[in-house]
Structure 1
Amino acid sequence: MSYTRSALLLGYGYVAKATAPLLAKAGFSLAGTTRSGEKAEQMQADGIAPLVNPDAEALRAAMMAATHILVSVPPGPEGDPVLAMAGQPDLPRLEWLGYLSTTGVYGDAGGGRVDETTPPAPADERSRRRLAAERGWQALSDRTRIFRLSGIYGPGRSALDRLKDGKARRIIKPGQVFSRIHVDDIAATLMASIARPDVPGPFNLADAAPRPQADVVAYAAGLLGIEPPPEEDFATAEMSPMMRSFYASSRRVSGEATRKALGVELEYPSYREGLSAIYAAST
């Protein structure tokens, strides 16, 4: 029996919004969940049927009707909220389920390389919740595919925007590097996985240029023709506990195996191409 392909977006955040037009272009009917009435109006304008604060019965019904599910709802202190509400529904039409996780599950590599074969070793509570959520979604279906995302950036969410808002900082911690990925490359990789549902993953999404965040801010400042913010020593810089926690782990994330397995070529292989494109589109 053949079905019309229908994609359910569990959460309509930055990545889901970038992926939705590609799904629509591929012929999917789209529905999505949200807790915001304002976002529901945006979803309708984007051609997505909104499910606003669905109860357990409505959530399970939407999941059972979908051929493809993209999960971008983060876990909370009590675990994954979608799994807690939906339980273990039978998903008779499911062909693919993508769960958006984080490379934080690899923990601290001391600036060393991690790849898709590296065993997870989360070092903080947020990452431990992510790993538990990964396993919960994998237990739900053998069609679940795990996508471990590096730092996400793109239009409206980049070092360029932070500089314009006066919020960019150049924190210096020797040996510290971050990996990142442009939102459009995430969306393209998700579509490549949908086209190759036989490839099991897990998948790492990271560009080929892990660098200190201070370097990225300096490059963005050069594009804007302004002086970068002054360097601040990590040891003495004033930061919130949340911000400081981001510097607790350092790793160079490789997504080479993911790109090879799915036949993906990054449109933005480093932050330089990504930020330059964002800047060009805004001028």
Structure 2
Amino acid sequence: MSKFFIFGAGYSGKAFARDNRNRLPVTGTTRSADNFDALREAGMTPLTFDGMLTPEIDAALPQTTHLIISIAPDEGGDPVLAAAHDAIAAMPALQWIGYLSTVGVYGDHGGAWVDETAECRPVSKRSRLRVAAEQQWRELGEKTGIPVAILRLSGIYGPGRNAFVNLANGTAKRLIKPGQVFNRIHVEDIAGALWHLAGRNQGGIFNVTDDLPAPPQDVVEYASSVMNVPPPPAISFETAQLSPMARSFYGENKRVSNAAMKAGGYRFRFPDYRCALDHMWPSGNWEQGEPRSPMKKP
């Protein structure tokens, strides 16, 4: 039987575990035991990992067949490899490794389409660290003969993280920068892509992103129309008050292709933001189980 282990079982990791239709064993790590109940609710056995292996992790890794890494690198490099490189290389049952990266590794391409063969031009430090971490995981795969799938994720949204939530709590912004587009992916498609690739023990680099790169204000406007509420006022990017990190995202402009995932047989559940929002609003799961806002479906 396949056994999965997730280093960093956060938003995407919990979605993966909830999508476990064959009820396979999944173990996930978190930094704090305070998060154990959330991991158990998602269907995982929870363990703590904060940069060091524990006896519980040491006991779980040798039985693991499929390993997923969803922890960002830092100044010291990839924290999982720093703590567990040799342990992972020696895992006797390991068949596949999945590493969750970001389309940020491509940097800025002036709005042009890019696929997995495109040059990586990382702009931010966090994206440069991702490029280095990707290479380290690929090298481990070459050394051990284990297939490594690098999943380059675009902007993640889903229950609890979407334009409806932002409109309901008053944080939505309609920021206008002519020509700017962003790429996005529903968290259920991250889960689906992981199960698809893991089920085939398929390695390689894959963009996990939907069909429709779009200006961010288009998403806010569409969500407003679905909620039947006025959109927030338009704000020029040039005059907007943004944090340095938020402003840095607008320094990268590209349209990311998902053709490789489709060619490999994966069918996206939410091919664009419109169908995802159309699904989340009437189902009510956009709030992720939180009490309903006064703004209700008309």
Shift of 1:56: 2.4
145, 149, 153: which one pairs with 2:153? 149
Instruction: Tell me, yes or no, if the aligned pair for 1:201 and 1:258 is still in contact at 8 Å.
Output: no
Question: 1:55-134 maps to which residues of 2 (within 5 A)?
Answer: 55-58=52-55, 59-89=57-87, 90-134=90-134
Distance 1:125 1:60, change over 3 A: farther
1:15 maps to what in 2?
12
Deviation at 1:95, TM superposition (A): 1.0
Q: CA deviation at 1:44?
A: 2.6
Task: Specify the code of the residue in structure 2 equivalent to 1:229.
Answer: P
Secondary structure (helix, strand or coil) at the match of 1:88 reads helix
* 1:188 counterpart = 2:202: no
Q: Secondary structure at the match of 1:73?
A: coil
The partner residue of 1:46 within 39, 42, 49 is 42
Segments of 5+ residues of structure 1 without an aligned counterpart are none
CA distance in 2: counterparts of 1:143 and 1:92, whole angstroms = 14
Paired residues of 2:138 and 2:148 also in contact (CA < 8 A): yes
Q: Distance in 2 between matches of 1:63 and 1:112?
A: 42
TM-score (norm. length: structure 1): 0.93
Q: Structure 1 243/100 Cα, relative in aligned 2: closer, same or farther at 3 Å?
A: same
Indicate conservation of the 8 Å contact 1:116/1:258, yes or no. no
Equivalent residue, structure 2, for 1:278 = 280
Find the aligned partners of 1:61 and 1:140 in 2 and give their Cα distance.
21
State the secondary structure of the residue aligned to 1:86. helix
Instruction: Give distance in 1, aligned partners of 2:138 and 2:216.
Output: 33
Cα distance in structure 1, aligned partners of 2:158 and 2:44: 22
CA distance, structure 1, for counterparts of residue 41 and residue 182 of structure 2:
35
Structure 1 range deviating more: 127-136 or 80-89: 80-89
Over 3 Å counting, the alpha-carbon distance change for 1:27 and 1:44 in structure 2 is: closer
SS at match of 2:97: strand
Displacement of 1:241: 0.5
Deviates more, 1:44-53 or 1:122-131: 44-53
Q: What letter matches 1:273 in structure 2?
A: C
Alpha-carbon distance in structure 2 between the residues aligned to 1:219 and 1:174: 18
Q: 1:67–1:95: 8 Å Cα contact kept in structure 2?
A: yes
- How far apart are 1:69 and its partner, in Å? 0.9
* Kept in 2: contact 1:150–1:205 (CA 8 A): yes
Alignment match, 2:288: none
3-state SS of 2:167 partner? helix
- 2: CA distance, partners of 1:137 / 1:182: 25
CA distance in 2, matches of 1:45, 1:153: 20
Cα drift, residue 47 of structure 1: 3.3
Quick check: 31-40 or 218-227, which moved more?
Answer: 31-40
**Conserved 8 A contact 1:176-1:212:** yes
Local SS of the residue matching 1:249:
coil
Q: How far apart are residue 41 of structure 1 and its match?
A: 2.0
AA at the equivalent of 1:31 = T
For the pair 1:167 / 2:163, whether they are aligned, the reply is: no
Cα separation, 2, equivalents of 1:206 and 1:53:
29
Q: Which residue of 2 aligns with 1:250?
A: 253
AA aligned opposite 1:192: H
Q: May I ask how many residue pairs the two structures share in their alignment?
A: 277
What is the alpha-carbon distance in structure 2 between the residues aligned to residue 44 and residue 196 of structure 1?
A: 26
Give, in whole Å, the separation in 1 of the partners of 2:153 and 2:129: 15
**Structure 2: 5+ residue runs without aligned partners?**
285-296
Q: How far, CA to CA, are the matches of 1:200 and 1:45 in structure 2?
A: 30
Q: Work out whether residues 10 and 30 of structure 2, in 8 Å CA contact, stay in contact via their aligned partners in 1.
A: no
Return the letter of the residue paired with 2:111. Answer: G
Report deviation, 1:61: 4.2
| Structure 1 residue 42: Cα displacement | 2.1
CA contact (8 A) 1:113 1:253 kept: yes
RMSD between aligned residues: 1.5
C-alpha displacement of 1:201: 2.2
Taking the aligned partners of 1:31 and 1:225, their CA distance within structure 2 comes to 41
Structure-1 separation of matches of 2:132 and 2:58 = 21
Alignment of 1:180-259 (within 5 A): 180-197=184-201, 199-259=202-262
Kindly state the Cα deviation for residue 57 of structure 1 after the two structures are TM-superposed: 5.0
Shift of 1:74: 1.0
Contact map agreement 1:99 1:146 (CA 8 A) in 2:
yes
Determine the C-alpha separation between the residues in 2 that align with 1:266 and 1:43.
Answer: 25
Instruction: Report the Cα distance in structure 1 between the residues aligned to 2:131 and 2:199, rounded to whole angstroms.
Output: 25
Instruction: State whether residues 152 and 183 of structure 1, in contact with CA within 8 Å, keep that contact through their aligned partners in structure 2.
Output: yes
